[in-house]
Amino acid sequence: MEENKNGEKKGKKIIGMRVVKTVIASYICFLLSYFRNTSPFYSVIAAILSMQTDQDSSLKVGKSRMVGTIIGGIYGFVVIHLIDFLNIGIFNNIHYLILSLFLIPIIYTNVYIKYPSSTYISCVVFLSITVSHIGDTNPMYFAINRVIDTMIGIVVSLIVNRYLKAPNKKS
């Protein structure tokens, strides 16, 4: 094996532990979605985005994602009911304007509560609820399930990351 500039041995690392943990967390989310009879999309994406190299980083990212998910879910729920209450057509300029304008309080809420790192997930959850719920008989059910699905992915990722450790390297 070759050595790098620090004298450490270089070898071809095929699959790292973070990849292994991500695959396992994703599969668990697929199975949970199968048994819950829901789409695995949101939980698997959350698991992938939450997986970090160590437990401390995962906890920090997971907490931020949970906060962002709750904020996005609340705003999404409010907006789909507002659009329904005002009888606004969907997929038109007014609908898109409302969705775009609601990004302002979503972003501000994250900054105000001192979680600016959760802003993007709040926006993603909000848009997944307000754009993807179309055709559902109960938008509240959709909003709650999107939040639950995302939380499942985050929690699964945290658990997998906590209990699966890289094997000790021998010198």
8 Å CB contact between 28 and 18: no
Task: Tell me which residue of 130, 88, 133 sits closest to 122, measured CA to CA.
Answer: 130
Helix (H) or strand (E) holding 46: helix 41-50
Instruction: Give this prediction's pTM.
Output: 0.79
d(CA 103, CA 124): 10
pLDDT, one tens digit for every residue, the chain (171 residues): 555 565 555 666 678 899 999 999 999 999 999 999 988 999 999 999 999 988 888 889 989 999 999 999 999 989 988 988 999 888 899 999 999 999 999 999 999 999 999 999 999 989 988 887 655 667 778 888 888 998 999 999 999 999 987 666 554
Cα-Cα-Cα-Cα torsion 60, 73, 134, 98, nearest 10 degrees, comes to -110
